[in-house]
Every structure is written in C-alpha cells, then in structure tokens.
Structure 1
Amino acid sequence: MQDQPILIALLAIAAGIFSLLGGINNWDWFMKSFRAGLFVKTIGRQAARVMYGLFGIVLITIGVLLLLIG
C-alpha cells in the first residue's frame, strides 16, 4: 500500500512533463487531439498552449510535493 502514493506522484510528474512539452513545442498532433481540439477552438491555440504549459507545471509540482511528503 505504500507504493501507491509514489506511483501516483510519478504519474502526475509524467503527465505534467507531457503537457508542458506539448504546450511548449506546439505539437500539432497534441493540439488537434479531441479534447485539446475543443479547448483550442474555445480559447485559441496560443492561449491553449499557455494553459497546457501551466497545467503541466501544476502537475509536476503536485507530483514532487507528493514525493516529498510521502
């Protein structure tokens, strides 16, 4: 049962890195995926890139904090 918080933290960090890189690198396949596509159509591609970058930073921060306190 002790490995679960570590796994969740590592998954949060991995998802955060993926989201951050998708926003920074402006991956076309990332921005045209179904969910990101809806987001892009709503607020625009540049704003979606910023939001995905911020979301990635938040996920990475949460993952690191979980590792530190867990």
Structure 2
Amino acid sequence: MQEQPVLIALFAIAAGIFSLLGGINNWDWFMKSFRAGIFVKTIGRQGARVVYGILGVVMIAIGVLLLLIGEV
C-alpha cells in the first residue's frame, strides 16, 4: 500500500476521535470555536454536541474503511 492513503486514513481517524471527544466531553473551548459556534447558534449546544459526535463516528468509520480497502 502507498503511504499517502494510509496517512489520509490515519488523519481521518484522528480527526474523528478529536471530534467525538469534543462532543462527548463538551469541551468549552471546542464549542466556542468559530465553526462550532455556527452549530451552537443554529441548533443549540446539545445539538452541536450530537452533530460533532456523529461526525466523529463517521470520520472514524471512513478512516477504518480506507485502511481496510487499501489492504485488498
């Protein structure tokens, strides 16, 4: 397997874990960032937490699938 797809997959997994933890732990600095602030203003803090949790799970799944597809 080439190195670049592995790095993209690992980056997706790391970003997914970060997003998932930010949503679960309700980090104040995470939810007050500019991009999260858009979700917080639109759907509320709890809604933003759910969105970031789902986003994290999806990104982790994409990263794992990229790793598995690369092994074939």
Q: How do residues 1-70 of structure 1 correspond to structure 2 at under 5 angstroms?
A: 2-70=2-70
Unaligned runs of 5+ in 2: none
4+ aligned runs moved over 2 Å, structure 1: none
Which residue identity is paired with 2:47? A
Q: What whole-Å deviation, never above 9, does each CA across 1:10-67 have from its counterpart, x for those lacking one?
A: 0000000000000000000000000101110011000100010000000000000000
Report the Cα distance in structure 1 between the residues aligned to 2:6 and 2:42, rounded to whole angstroms: 35
Kindly report the root-mean-square deviation, in angstroms, between the aligned alpha carbons of the 2 structures: 1.0
**How many residues are treated as equivalent by the alignment?**
70
TM-score (norm 1): 0.97
- Give me the TM-score of the superposition, normalised by structure 2: 0.94
Q: Distance in 2 between the 1:47 and 1:36 partners?
A: 11
